[in-house]
């Protein structure tokens, strides 16, 4: 499964999954463009075990504000509908993968 483009309703649906990673990004954000292919690879690796989504903070600023997003990229990690972890900034694939392993 690929990374799903989310709106507010889609965000709520995915974040309520047993395990989910949501990438908060914007098209103009250079570090976001560095993280995006990493998230795509991890989505393929964890297909069937973790749901992945992307929320464009420019298009959905109200939702980003509700989530307390101050900087992008931000990766949010949900377990059984609860936010359990977050990463702010561009990190290597191994670091993000470690956070996903802790999620599982």
Domain regions of the chain by residue span: 4-103
Q: Which fold has domain 4-103?
A: Glutaredoxin (3.40.30)
Q: What is the pLDDT of residues 21-45, one digit of tens each?
A: 999 999 999 999 999 999 999 999 9
- Output the CA torsion 28→32→34→35 (10° steps): -160
Residues 97 and 44 sit within 8 Å (Cβ to Cβ): no
Helical (H) or strand (E) element with 32: helix 30-45
pTM confidence score? 0.94
Q: Catalytic positions, please?
A: 29, 32
pLDDT above 70: residue 1: no
């Amino acid at each position: 499964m690929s990374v799903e483009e989310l709106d507010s309703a889609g965000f709520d649906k995915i974040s309520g999954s047993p395990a989910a990673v949501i990438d908060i990004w914007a098209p103009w954000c250079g570090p976001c463009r560095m993280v995006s292919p990493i998230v795509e690879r991890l989505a393929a690796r964890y297909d069937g075990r973790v749901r992945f989504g992307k929320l464009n903070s420019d298009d959905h600023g109200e939702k980003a504000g509700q989530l307390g997003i101050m900087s992008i990229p931000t990766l949010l990690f949900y377990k059984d509908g609860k936010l359990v972890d977050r990463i702010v900034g561009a990190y290597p694939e191994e670091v993000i993968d470690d956070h996903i392993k802790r999620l599982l």
